[in-house]
Amino acid sequence: MNDQSTYLVRAVSGPVILITVGVLFAFDKFTEFHFRQTWPVLLIVIGLLKLAGGRGRSRFGYPPPPPPPGGDPPSPVSPPYGGPGERP
């Protein structure tokens, strides 16, 4: 699944869950099926949306930032002296 499909599934997740809850409450009101019998459908829909969404994001929820223009970023830790051949 490409990134665009992942973002589409994430975008429609909220509305799909709200529609599912509305349909379940309508079943409760207008049929013999009550919400206490049909609430597992909500868990199934959420699980299917999670499966369809895949793992589009990193562990912390955001992709890493791109490298700065012009080459590799500087090392975050500099050696205590100029280099391996130099002494302080």
Containing H/E element for 44?
Answer: helix 40-53
Would you say the pTM of this structure is higher than 0.95? no
Count of structural domains within the chain: 1
Rounded CA Rg of the chain: 25
Q: Is residue 48 part of a domain?
A: yes
Q: Is residue 60 part of a domain?
A: no
pLDDT digits (tens, 9 = 90+) for 1-48: 677 877 888 888 999 999 999 999 999 999 999 999 999 999 999 999
Better pLDDT: 78 or 33? 33
Tokens 């050696």 belong to which residue?
A: 79
pLDDT digits (tens, 9 = 90+) for 49-62: 888 886 655 455 66
Q: Is residue 79 part of a domain?
A: no
Are the CB atoms for 38 and 28 separated by under 8 Å?
A: yes
Q: Is residue 14 part of a domain?
A: yes
Range of the domain at 12: 3-53
The whole-angstrom separation of Cα 34 and Cα 46 is: 20
